[in-house]
Structures are given as structure tokens and as C-alpha cells.
Amino acid sequence: MPDQPTLRQVLNGHTGQVSLDPKLVFLIEDIATACRTIGSRLRDAAFEGAHGLAGNTNVQGEDQKKLDLIADDIMQRSCATSPALAALVSEEREDPHWFKTPEAGDYLLYCDPLDGSSNIDVNLSVGSIFSVCGVDRDGDRQLLKPGTAQCCAGYAIYGPAMMLVLSVGTGVLGFSCDYDTGEFRLTHARMSIPEETSEFAINASRQRFWDAPIRRYVDECLAGQEGPRGRDFNMRWTASMVADVHRILMRGGVFMYPADADNRARGGKLRLLYEANPMAYLIEQAGGAATGGQDRILTISPQSHHQRVPVILGSSAEVARLAEYHAG
């Protein structure tokens, strides 16, 4: 029987790592319950005929998988009764879902209920991403907050093991699911990113669209020991941001989904409120850095709920090098 502290014990301050508003503890536990349920639905999907397309598209114009909608419904139902949750912004919903008036709720939840869903039907890692901000006391319905306003961010990764990785501003905590009891237990007490790395992640099939700074960075990595970097590099691309970010939190690396000639008119590929901001928050809490190429992601002032942004994040020395190339 594992004896590591449970999520509830950590959130209630038993390990001395966090001290939280009890209403935020309730919300994080409700999010964890949703992720646990999503994880079990993914495991049973083949038996429930839940694979494949739902037959419609989301606000992004992307084909929705059946499990995208199932995960969104689970997240909404699990958090609907959370005592302090005012509103939910979801990748799968065009408009925010208000549970309570801003006066009656304390927190706002932004989520990508099932990230990387193109991996589901081929049984590769996917995840759920979440971000929490406080409600403005003046009661306005302002949901467009910069990443610096987050009070909690994290993800669940549905891989060989199901994990919940989160931060409330005091470092990054990793919890593994004990399938016998369903408890999330603290197995990674302080996740941190090495400053240096020899591993990069980018969708190389987009090379023809890249700007010069990205092309230069990747070419130098590929040149290996004989090149300007003087060492060999490894490349990974999982088509699941959660899986790539988790690998970087575990062993370092740099993840790039930059603006390019093809996506620049749309603002980039990844969504600011429920992908870039929560992941940038985690990466910075783990000692890394996160930019759109040069400027810090967390300071971007959102203009719309589903705004897309370029993302470069990971080991700080590599992110700084890429910023230098962009400046040059």
C-alpha cells in the first residue's frame, strides 16, 4: 500500500508545501475527480464504442472526437457543484459556461478537457489541461486575464501511469494515481527543469513554413557535435502538448510550436487561455521559461477566449537562445 501523502493531505497543508483557500482546495479536488473519471473512460473507450469522430467541429474548426465531448461533459459535471466556481471556459465550448454570478463565485476555470485527442484512437498519451484564476471582486464578467493572474494550473497525463501535475505558485507537484484506491499520491515533490538540454520538440513536417530563427536553431541542433552547438541533440514530437511538457518537466528539453508562414494569420496553433498559459505557468514554476519567441507568454493580454499564440517553452538556456535568434 503506497504511503506517500494524498492530494487532499497536500492541499490541506499537511506536508507544509501549500497553504490554500479551502474553496480552491474543493475546486482542485473536483478537477482531480474529473481527470480520474476521464482516465477511466479512456481505458474503457474501446468497449463503449467511444473512439472516432463525434461528427461535428469545435469553435476552432477542428473535428471533435467523441471523447473530446465526453471529457468536456465530465469536467463540466464534476465542477458544476464546486462551491466557488463561477465560470468555465473550455476548448470544446464556443462560449463560457457561467455556473454562478461573479458575485457568488470566487474562481474561473479554463480547460482543454482532452488535449492531443488525435492520439486516442492509436492508444498514445493524451491529457487534460486546466488553469484557475480568481474572480475580480468588482463582479464584472471579465474572463480575459493574463497568465500572471493564475492561482493554479496543471494537467493530467493519461499515459502508462495516470498523473496529476500542478502548481499553486510554490513549485510543481506530481501526483500518481494509485489505481487500487483511486487516490492521487505525491510521488514527485518538486519537479524542476534542467537549465541545459540536448532534446528539442517540434513538428518537423512544418519546416517549409518556419521563420529564419527557428530554422537556424533546429539546423544547429541537427548539425550535432561538428556543428556550432558542439554536441548531438535528440528530437521528440508526440502531437500531445501534455506529453511533451511532461517529458520536459521530467528531463529537460525545449518545445516549439512557433508562429510560421502558415499559421501566423490565425495567431499560431496553441490556445492561450487553456494551453499556453497553464503550461507556461508550470514551466516557470519548475525553473524554465516560456515565450512566444521573445516575450513572456504569461504577460500576454488576451483578446478572445480561444485566442491562439506561438509557444516556445522549456529549459531556460534554450528558450533564451531562441529569443536571441528572434531578436537578431
Distance CA 178, CA 181 (A): 6
Sequence-ordered list of residues with C-beta below 8 angstroms from that of 203, at least 6 positions apart, any chain: 237, 239, 257
**In the complex, minimum distance from the CB of residue 185 to ligand P6P, in angstroms, rounded to a whole number:** 26
**Cα distance between residue 24 and residue 17, in whole Å:** 15
- The residue with its CB nearest to ligand P6P is 241
Name the minimum Å distance from CB 28 to ligand P6P: 22
Looking at the Cβ atoms of 18 and 280, the one nearer to ligand P6P is: 280
Indicate the SS3 state at residue 296.
Answer: strand
Told to check if 318 binds ligand P6P by CB under 6 A, we report no
Looking at the Cβ atoms of 118 and 304, the one nearer to ligand P6P is 118
Cβ proximity of 69 and 55 under 8 Å: no
Measured CA to CA, the distance from residue 68 to residue 51 in angstroms comes to 10
Q: Phi, psi at residue 111, to the nearest 5°?
A: -150, 150
- Nearer to ligand P6P by Cβ, of 62 and 295: the residue is 62
Beta bridge partners of 296: 291
Of 28, 241, 290, 322, the one binding ligand P6P (CB under 6 A) is 241
- With CB under 6 A as the contact rule, the residue among 144, 239, 250, 317 that binds ligand P6P is 239
**CB distance 252 to 244 below 8 Å:** no
# of chain residues touching ligand P6P (CB under 6 A): 9
d(CA 188, CA 250): 10
Closest contact distance (angstroms) between CB of 140 and ligand P6P is: 30
- What residue type is assigned to position 135 of the chain? V
d(CA 49, CA 110): 28
Say whether 265 sits in a helix, a strand or coil. helix
Q: Which among 8-16, 143-151, 223-231, 234-242 is the span making contact with ligand P6P, rule CB under 6 A? A: 234-242
Least distance to ligand P6P, CB of residue 186, Å: 26
Query: Least CB distance from residue 238 to ligand P6P, whole Å?
Result: 7
For ligand P6P, which is the closer residue by CB, 181 or 207?
Answer: 207
| CA 190 to chain CA mean position, Å | 18
Q: Which CB sits closer to ligand P6P, 99 or 209?
A: 209
Q: Between residue 147 and residue 206, which ones bind ligand P6P under the rule CB under 6 A?
A: 203
Q: Give the per-residue contact string, 195-214, with ligand P6P (x = CB under 6 A; - = no).
A: --------x-----------
Quote the cell numbers at residue 193: 527543469
Tell me which residue of 257, 231, 271, 212 sits closest to 92, measured CA to CA. 271
Kindly write out the interface string for residues 106-145 of this chain, putting x where it contacts ligand P6P by CB under 6 A and - elsewhere: ---------xx-x---------------------------
Residues engaged in binding ligand P6P (CB under 6 A):
115-116, 118, 203, 239-241, 269-270
